[in-house]
Chains A and B, each alone.
Chain A
Amino acid sequence: MTEANAQQGSPASRETAPLTPVLTRRWLSPESWTLSTYEQLEGYTALRTALRADPDQLVELVKSAGLRGRGGAGFPAGVKWGFMPKEPSKPHYLVINADEGEPGTCKDVPLMMADPHSLIEGCIIASYAMRANHCMIYVRGEALHCVRRLHHAVREAYDAGYLGTNVLGSGFDLDIVVHAGAGAYICGEETALLDSLEGKRGQPRLKPPFPAQAGLYSCPTTVNNVETIASVPYIVNGGSDWFRAMGREKSPGPKIYSISGHVENPGQYEAPLGTTLRELLELAGGMKDGIPLKFWTPGGSSTPLFTADHLDVPLDFEGATEAGSMLGTTALMIFNETVSVPWAVMKWTQFYEHESCGKCTPCREGCFWLAQVLERMVDGRGTEEDIDTLLDVCDNILGRSFCALGDGAVSPITSGIKYFREEFLALCDRNEGARGTQDERDDKAGEHGRSQAGDPALAGAAR
């Protein structure tokens, strides 16, 4: 237990839930990514079971297991699969969202690196359940190594008869295509992903029609996260009761929490949904160097910040929401007391400004504006009025944007100001009334009219 946690001192921390290695079970095996390791460790057994079942039975199984999407929104996977038409008049597609762009999120790439066949097996079962003969895995372009590994694994699966025509003699055909994106956060949004996959500019599509009606190439399509689909073989083998034995009523199953930042042992920790940060910190060896916790994200930067007051919030879909944030991708970014909140918020906002796809006004213009105000504040040239402006601009973005990126972009700002307003005010106090004139600011502006904030590290250390 770290100093940080010790200070918060909670009796509940003694009965921590243990790790539940399900998806991560094979990760430490030698050459875990090879087909032979996979097969030795129960690999492709669920597939054989699944192919003997009726596709609709599998949909029912996933429904009754209560598996919820691991890509951020937590939509029940079985329900989503149920939206696919039963009679294929057009080709059906399963698309795996392996774009993993949410800041702090690091679970899908490790999974595909360590155990690609579990994803492939999940893809085959899910495709069979949804009567899809084509499955695409859309991988974040930067994860080159991961793309190679997937290609290799897919080739192995073809050679072993798990893919291609007449999978394991079942009469079911499936082709998997591994596709590398070009590195845009928005291409993780499922409809932008589909456009990107079609070779178009990655921008979110208008819904309806939803992908199940008209997705990839206007055909019925289901988009699922890597972790969602990789969970499926275990559910087929273990059954829904086994799955529901982990986690909580409405958020059952195990979950890979990716913990980064100021902890002793950052990494992926697979634990039942509903595990608290206090418990996870214990697994991760506590706060780094014992410096106390200041703030953290429960599910990536798009989920409102939590503070040390939230150590005991059960990290499942309901728990995180009730406490005023969201479970997101269970990307826990942990920050200790040395970090300036306005600085961190500025960095995140710069990310959103850079990643806004540009389609809609609130997010495109709003992020551009917010980033400049924050840069100015961190640079010691902010005013109290700027704080009001920030909040009001956030209000004009949240729920007004075309897609959820805009909503996510305001999370760090609104929650940062909510919990750490005085830090923002303190920056304004440093302004000494010497707000630069417009001319001075213009002098600093570059081609795109942007002045860069001062050295962020200094800004952080200034605390």
Chain B
Amino acid sequence: MTVAPEADTRPVPEGHVRLTIDGVEVDAPEGELLIRTAERMGIVIPRFCDHPLLDPAGACRQCLVEVEVNGRAMPKPQASCTMTVSSGMVVKTQRTSQVADKAQQGVMELLLINHPLDCPVCDKGGECPLQNQALKHGRSDSRFRDSKRTFAKPVSISSQILLDRERCVLCQRCTRFSKQIAGDPFIELLERGALQQIGIAEQQPFQSYFSGNTIQICPVGALTSADYRFRSRPFDLVSTPGVCEHCSSGCAQRTDWRRGRVMRRLAGEDPEVNEEWNCDKGRFAFHYATATDRFTRPMVRDAATGQLRDSSWTEALRIAADGLMAARDSRGAGVLPGGRLTVEDAYAYSKFARMALGTNDIDHRARAHSTEELDFLASTVVGTGPGDGAVTYADLESAPTVLCAAFEPEEESPIVFLRLRKAARKGHTKVFHLGQWDSPGVEKTVDIVGSGSPIHSGGLLPCPPGGEAEMLQELPAEVDEALCRAGSILVLGERAARVPGLYSAAVRVAERTGARIAWIPRRAGERGAVEAGTLPTLLPGGRPVADAAARADLEQTWGLERGALPVAPGRDVDGILAAAASGELSGLLVGGVDPNDLPDPGLAEQALRSAEFVVSLELRPSAATEHADVVLPIAPTVEKSGTFLNWEGRAREFGSTIERTGAVPDCRVLDTLAVEMDVDLFTQTPAAVSGEIGRLGSYSGRRPQAPRVAAPSPPRPGPGQALLATWRQLLDNGSLQDGEPHLAGTARPPVARLSAGTAGRLGLAEHQPVTVSGPAGALTLASEITEMPDGVVWLPGNSGPSRVNRELGVGHGALVELAAAEAPSTSAGPSTGDNPARPDNPAGAATQLGSSTGPGGGRTDDSRTDGGEG
């Protein structure tokens, strides 16, 4: 931008126009909105409906300015949020134009005539654009002497979101966000004139994984959350920037806290990553950290009672160190750090395993996993990042084609979903999904309806579960051609590990088409853990265990003798558990791992029981702590600093938000524990670890070969059988979502999905419960007829009673038995209607907070301890 006091004589840059705003000449890119150009010059034009990431609406009329085009003054003031710059334009804002100033004051006065005097009790008071701009641009008195329009005070529009229609200025930001960005048009304008209001349809609450964003962009206090409503005033809060700990999207976030307590979380701004959005899980799921059952002191198992008892750190560390050393020296100890660690904490586990326990038996993949995946991570993923050609959000947005295989973006990485939708909405990107059914996330990235003509981009390529690899090798010609276009991307998700041959097929397809591969794991810690080397074949920085030079390099940095590092590749999670269960391993060091997340929860529990010595680093009681000999409490994300690597491999550093709680990060606990074992890890603080990681650098040797695993054909279901398709929903039984019933109320109700053909063969009526059985047992859910391949049943991975790993003992792609169930299932209704969160008639009487927003469906209190780590 150029701002010159006098007429600028330099040529106008290509693609720009030169105009004058408040007497100052400025060059602006063609197509820029006046309000943005002015803003770049430091001229702030008041506004309500304008939002840079939403399509312009021009509804509030607060941003009026005077405009002259081609030397002719336009007869009416113009909305600067809808008018684009043009060459020679002369614009006068409220600063230089009486007309604009009066127009703005007039609109402000009109906005206030029906606005309630709620400021002293309104959540937004103190950070309210209406309040601020009224003070800045409004009149000091009102000429309105008549009666204000009134509405019943807040109505619930979901179990989480409440709407106060009196406060609403009808800017349509919330509706435009929901329609355009999230694709969940479940709130709309209703009625007209002064009775116009935001509302929902009678049978359909505002069910959106992104609903919290509407609260954040609402320019008044009309939208509030049941979780935060009336909890604090903005000016009493301290805001600390941070990073969300839930998924691998890596959202920037802002945590607002007061007197050591987190009051709310908001989306942070990061144009490269989450833009200005986050998902409701990131926004509302933080109460787990202050759950009453959180461990605050170490505990040791009392030999006499067999129960855990509080102990001092000194005692606990001593016992843990002795036990682990004994295990190490006996048949060895394995390490299961879990997938939710920061890079620094993961690095400490990695170093601890190698130096203190002398083993490569370490694997963070507390979920289905495979050797093929391990080879894929080593060959294709580790050591890449946005700086060196790895796929980024921006690449997704500009890709001509994105093919998602075994990946459910909206459920597994919501911000990736938003980017894919944004790309599709622009009309340049075709998004294909290799999956089983047209899930909401699929639909919203391939069929974009909104303003303008509907866009149909890409589509679903249906295949049987487990058949993804086969399908990838025989893509329809249209998709194959689309993938060959430069910049195309192939995305693989978590459940790829359940599909033999899928990574291999993906690598081949990438080689053939030139498409790049993005691996998008579900958990926030997974990508960083790969770099930290919490894997049986990888050391930190992508160094293969098998490479002697890489080991030597590491030995040098770690100050070890030549040959001190274990040489043999370690066991993976399944291997470690099996070995512990059978007595081949003596000890276990366990981080945030929940047996329910593992392919075989029974084996995990047996392993925990059988192992001679178990140390658990945990926040709250879990299956691991139940069997642990020593429990060492660690800090939740909000009480520590560190770095997550998001799926792009982008470092997401954060400082500690709530300090001096006495809680310490895993790396510090491990450091002290190692000292007790006469080993120096030098991982006292995340900063120290981060420094060491920097000095260590990454592996520069030859990458291991990509996997070449053949894709077997999926088995053919016989009569009464089906292939199981399953993945986790964003909001489910995960223990990090504990303590927020309003959030849980917006979860998608668990249902079993099958095709009309499959249902017909079972004699299953619409919504009739169906029983699905596997080797470990059976579960029963209401059924929902869905367009999908015959002979397939879909279950949510860990929602309500549908805890697939535990109840069935098999996962995605496995054969299961189906039967129509007699009794209606108690815990799940059909996906529409029946939601306990369904609010009262929006036009009806006020709904009181407590009564309307009780615990939502899909989760019961007892899911706390066995709900899965998430």
Contact = CB atoms under 8 A, between A and B. Distances in A.
B57 interface: yes
B110 A366 contact: yes
B146 A361 contact: no
A324 interface: no
Interface in A312-361: 353-361
A369 interface: yes
Given A395-B106, A448-B150, A360 B194 contact: no
A303 to B, nearest CB: 17
Interface in B139-162: 143-150
Contacts of A201: 188-189
Nearest to B82: A206
Interface stretch (A25-33, A48-56, A278-286, A398-406): A398-406
Contacts of B144: 369
Given A364-B170, A389-B143, A401-B61, A355 B193 contact: yes
A400 B61 CA distance: 7
Interface in B91-106: 102-103, 106
B57 A373 contact: no
B107 A361 contact: yes
A217 B451 CA distance: 9
A361 B61 contact: yes
A365 B451 CA distance: 26
B111 A365 contact: yes
B453 to A, nearest CB: 4
A438 B147 CA distance: 9
B820 interface: no
Contact of B149 (A219, A392, A438, A448): A448
A358 B195 contact: yes
Interface stretch (A170-178, A228-236, A439-447): A439-447
> DSSP class of B's interface residues: helix, strand, loop or mixed?
loop
A56 to B, nearest CB: 26
A214 B453 CA distance: 9
A376 B146 contact: yes
Interface in B346-392: none
Max chain B Cβ within 10 angstroms of own Cβ: one of A217, A354, A360: A360
A368 B106 CA distance: 14
Nearest to A406: B61
Contacts of A276: none
Interface in A431-456: 438, 441-442, 444-445, 447-451
B193 A353 contact: yes
B77 A400 contact: yes
B114 interface: yes
Contacts of B143: 389, 392
Contact of B193 (A364, A402, A447): A364
Interface residues of B, number: 42
B774 interface: no
A433 to B, nearest CB: 15
A68 to B, nearest CB: 20
Most buried by B among A205, A362, A367, A392: A362
A217 B453 contact: yes
Nearest to B74: A399
B59 interface: yes
Contacts of A206: 56-58, 82
A400 B76 contact: yes
Contacts of B103: 396, 400
Given A218-B453, A357-B192, A362 B107 contact: yes
Nearest to B107: A361
A4 interface: no
Contacts of A376: 146
Interface string A138-182: 000000000000000000000000000000000000000000000
A445 B188 CA distance: 28
Nearest to A369: B113
B194 A214 contact: no
B191 interface: yes
Contacts of B102: 395-396
Contacts of B193: 353-358, 364, 367-368
A451 B147 CA distance: 8
A47 interface: no
B453 A358 contact: no
Contacts of A97: none
A315 B332 CA distance: 101
A399 B77 contact: yes
B452 interface: yes
Contact of A368 (B76, B150, B194): B194
A450 B60 contact: no
A366 B56 CA distance: 22
B439 interface: no
Contacts of A441: 146-147
A184 interface: yes
Contacts of A356: 192-194
B150 A362 contact: no
A369 B59 contact: no
Nearest to A448: B149
A297 interface: no
A372 interface: yes
A357 B194 CA distance: 9
Contact of B170 (A205, A218, A358, A438): A358
Given A361-B61, A389-B143, A449-B150, A396 B453 contact: no
Nearest to B79: A402
B192 A358 contact: yes
A64 to B, nearest CB: 28
Given A358-B189, A369-B146, A402-B61, A396 B452 contact: no
Nearest to A90: B453
A364 B169 contact: no
B109 interface: yes
A122 to B, nearest CB: 28
A355 B196 CA distance: 11
A449 B148 contact: yes
A219 B453 contact: yes
Nearest to B190: A201
Interface string B196-237: 100000000000000000000000000000000000000000
B147 A450 contact: yes
Given A396-B103, A400-B61, A400-B76, A449 B147 contact: yes
A187 to B, nearest CB: 11
B106 A442 contact: no
B342 interface: no
A442 B145 CA distance: 11
Contacts of B436: none
B61 A362 contact: yes
Contacts of A214: 452-453
Contacts of A364: 170, 193-194, 196
Interface string A397-436: 0011110000000000000000000000000000000000
Interface string A181-213: 000101000000000000001010110000000
B60 A218 contact: no
A442 B148 CA distance: 9
A214 B169 CA distance: 29
A365 B60 contact: no
Contacts of B146: 369, 372-373, 376, 441, 449, 451
B75 interface: yes
B62 interface: yes
B147 A372 contact: yes
9 contacts: A214-B452, A219-B453, A360-B58, A362-B107, A368-B113, A395-B106, A400-B103, A400-B106, A448-B150
Given A358-B194, A369-B146, A449-B150, 14 more contacts: A186-B192, A203-B189, A219-B453, A356-B192, A357-B193, A358-B192, A361-B111, A362-B106, A365-B194, A399-B75, A399-B76, A400-B64, A441-B147, A442-B147
Rank and list the top 5 A-B pairs by shortest CB-CB distance, nearest first: A358-B196, A396-B106, A449-B147, A218-B453, A399-B76
Interface of A: 184, 186, 201, 203, 205-206, 214, 217-219, 353-362, 364-369, 372-373, 376, 389, 392-393, 395-396, 399-402, 438, 441-442, 444-445, 447-451
